[in-house]
A and B are shown apart, each in its own frame.
Chain A
């Protein structure tokens, strides 16, 4: 048994191997857009609808301390897009695990986490696409922000960090729940309250007293405030610490649980 197989001969042992494995998984997720271009529309519909809803339909009813409501709500919508992308990650991961594909991937000589990492990166590409649509729609109805490229990079950094941290509880749910329907139910059952009971669309000071602490400590509120400060250019000294704290808590609590659930024997 000393015959080398072609696969072995062709195998590189470069230290960048894990990265190229992740790249291959990203390719898997993105190449299918070619056969399923409606995915791009699916992802774009939500931001367009919400920009219209809050920017035009509800804008007249909303007052936020005299400021322009569209300017106020766009950071909230950006955060909402980041929340929604984690549902995509969870539902897709669940399908891989409960179909046979994850089993096949686990018999391949790749890092165990490569399939997970590749999926997250691919979903971030979709998030970027939905953010582009969001900002384009908002601009079309009058949104103006004078930002530098550095600010844009910072905004993207914040939203990707937030989505990354929030995807761990989503991944944990996807790996613990049996049926695909339950994953959807959990995803929307948590995301809706998370975005509605937040400062993404309203000023938390305007809600009843008892609700205020809940809304203020909602991670969505904290991420939105971080983005508002960034975009307004007013300095982030007040919002950066809570943001980092929320992200750290999400990762510290859920990442070990999720990776353990991922490595668990099924």
Chain B
């Protein structure tokens, strides 16, 4: 049986009178990636900080690799890595010196620290920039250096708190690849993100939290199923036919929700009814300008579950 690397039971954190996290339970099998997905202020960072021994839970328990976060924090710190929301590097040290600094604090001997730093600089494509002060690095490079230093101790459990927030798409993609490579080597990862795409791309399982509570969990695929049918959008050639198009599609889709924005009509439709819908539109003599079909994504799950608009 796969051991459980991260286990939280009824974890709760209250700041003064505000509940940041309420009754949260998680279970992450070793070697898998869990994405903690939620909007700003939903308690993601507080959860990570409790699991990474930076905050004491108000109640509930958590174990990292079998060790209790309350009583065995020192032991836990030997086997975890954390990349927080703020880049944890010294801008006045070079990339290499930043890694040597953390490696030495992890207790590595000088030669071992040097080897480990070289290895990580190479893996994170930072060798060329390694002798430049980190303040000259781009956002993506700083993030990579930050992640590299959280991997120095070869952690069995890695916490990534919004690792790609603020990065451009190319830098984000690069970082995703780096994370995936590392996960392939057997590390357990807990990742927080506001980006549904990121959870979809990296995670084996997703827990959605809102206002400090778990609102859903499952594989990205299961959660997509929860979001329901794909969305079919048709734009008529003649804008005056939007209402008639709407009626035709509603007949095929039944009571399923639909929407028209004056130029096009969207309906949620089970995949097997799509052909029939398009045929019905054609039979009604409505000229079609374009058709698009969108598979439900985690965004839809999110919207359904948290009933908040404009989260993306």
Distance, CA A94 to CA B69, complexed state (A)? 27
Per-residue interface assignment for chain B, residues 120 to 163, with 1 indicating a CB less than 8 Å from any chain A CB and 0 otherwise: 00000000000001000000000000100110111110000000
Say which one of B87-95, B215-223, B227-235, B251-259 lies at the interface with A.
B87-95
CA distance A209 to B102 in the complex (A): 56
Binding site for A on B (CB under 8 A): 3, 5, 30, 52-56, 65-66, 74, 77-82, 84-90, 92-94, 97, 101-102, 104-109, 112, 116, 133, 146, 149-150, 152-156
Residues of A with C-beta under 8 A to B108: 6-7, 10-11
Contact across chains for A24 and B105 when beta carbons are under 8 A apart:
yes
Contact B3 A1, beta carbon cutoff 8 Å? yes
- Bound Cα distance from A7 to B66, whole angstroms: 19
Binding site for B on A (CB under 8 A): 1, 3, 5-8, 10-12, 17, 21, 24-25, 27-28, 31-32, 35-36, 98-101, 103-110, 114, 265
CA distance A158 to B79 in the complex (A): 43
Q: How far is the CB of A245 from chain B (nearest CB, A)?
A: 38
CB of A103 within 8 A of CB of B84, answer yes
From the candidates B56, B85, B93, B105, name the one contacting A108 in the complex (CB within 8 A): B105
Closest CB of chain A to B83's CB: distance in Å? 8
CA distance A3 to B81 in the complex (A): 16
6 closest A-B pairs by CB: A100-B86, A100-B88, A11-B107, A104-B88, A7-B153, A32-B92
Which of B87, B102, B107 has its CB near the most chain A CB atoms (within 10 A)? B107
Taking a contact as CB atoms under 8 Å apart, the answer to whether B107 and A109 are in contact is: yes
Question: Given that A1-B3, A1-B156, A109-B77 are contacting pairs, would A28 and B107 also be in contact in the complex, using a CB cutoff of 8 Å?
Answer: no
Within the complex, the shortest CB–CB distance from A161 to chain B, in Å, comes to 28
User: Are B107's CB and A31's CB within 8 A?
Assistant: no
B104 proximity list for chain A (CB < 8 A): 24, 27
Closest chain-B Cβ to A100's Cβ sits at a distance in Å of 3
| B92 and A27 contacting across the interface, CB-CB below 8 Å | no
- A7 with B77, Cβ < 8 A, contacts A36-B92, A104-B88 known: no
Q: Is the CB of B82 within 8 A of A107?
A: yes
Q: Is the Cβ of B52 less than 8 Å from the Cβ of A100?
A: no
A-B contact pairs, 12 of them (CB 8 A): A1-B30, A7-B107, A7-B153, A11-B78, A32-B133, A35-B94, A100-B86, A100-B87, A100-B146, A104-B149, A110-B105, A265-B56
Closest chain B residue, CB of each to CB of A31: B97
Residues of the B chain whose Cβ atoms lie less than 8 Å from the Cβ of A32 = 90, 92-93, 97, 133
Does the CB pair B84–A104 fall under 8 Å? yes
Instruction: Kindly provide the distance from the CB of B39 to the nearest chain A CB, expressed in whole angstroms.
Output: 22
Tell me the complex Cα distance, A107–B81, Å. 7
